A = this chain, B = another copy of it.
């Protein structure tokens, strides 16, 4: 089974989930606009963090699928579950933006963290299923690259697991960590991306 339609379906879900985030931004027509545009800064921050997070997961999925030769039914079905959590991201993003300064911040930060934790776990399941005994990889996949990817993907569940647990103590700090994780990935990509010979990493 070729992999191109899975990529088209996944690219569609990634693109729509990211674009739907804009529907979370809203102002009230009955009040002055300028102060509202400043007051909804958590909505901008949440938009930026979730868009970048989805974008980074998409870019990693891009790199990942580049190593894959073909897909089977188990991989397809697991991909659907993975994409189900990607498409879920706009919901906790809206809640976190609206409630980060209220008593509801903890519930929102927990739901956000659990969603991203599930995404990162399923990302690892997909990769480890594909890479285990080179089940779905290209014949010429470099074992060192494969092992490097396997190691780097453990970072996701760790970071999102910690940030989610922090929400139990301090939801605002947890929200800051979600932003920091996105910033780290952006920064790391920018640094490594410029290094010659690392275009696939």
Residues of A near any B CB (own CB < 8 A): 1-2, 5-9, 11-23, 25, 27, 29, 32-34, 37, 47-48, 51-52, 55-56, 58-59, 62-63, 65-66, 70, 72-77, 80-81, 83-84, 87-88, 90-91, 95, 98-99, 103-104, 106-108, 111, 186, 189-190, 192-194, 198-201
Min CB–CB distance A70 → chain B (angstroms)? 7
Min CB–CB distance A5 → chain B (angstroms)? 5
Min CB–CB distance A20 → chain B (angstroms)? 6
Q: A7-B8, A56-B77 are in contact. Are A83 and B18 (CB under 8 A)?
A: yes
Q: When the two chains form their complex, are residues B11 and A199 in contact, meaning their CB atoms are under 8 A apart?
A: no
Residues of B within 8 A of A76 (CB): 59, 62, 189, 193
Min CB–CB distance A74 → chain B (angstroms)? 3
Q: When the two chains form their complex, are residues B84 and A189 in contact, meaning their CB atoms are under 8 A apart?
A: no
Summarize A's interface: helix, strand, loop or mixed. helix
Residues of B within 8 A of A27 (CB): 95
Nearest chain-B residue to A50 (Cβ)? B84
Nearest chain-B residue to A196 (Cβ)? B72
Q: When the two chains form their complex, are residues B33 and A107 in contact, meaning their CB atoms are under 8 A apart?
A: yes
> Of B19, B63, B73, B193, which is within 8 A of A16 by CB?
B19
Residues of B within 8 A of A91 (CB): 22, 25
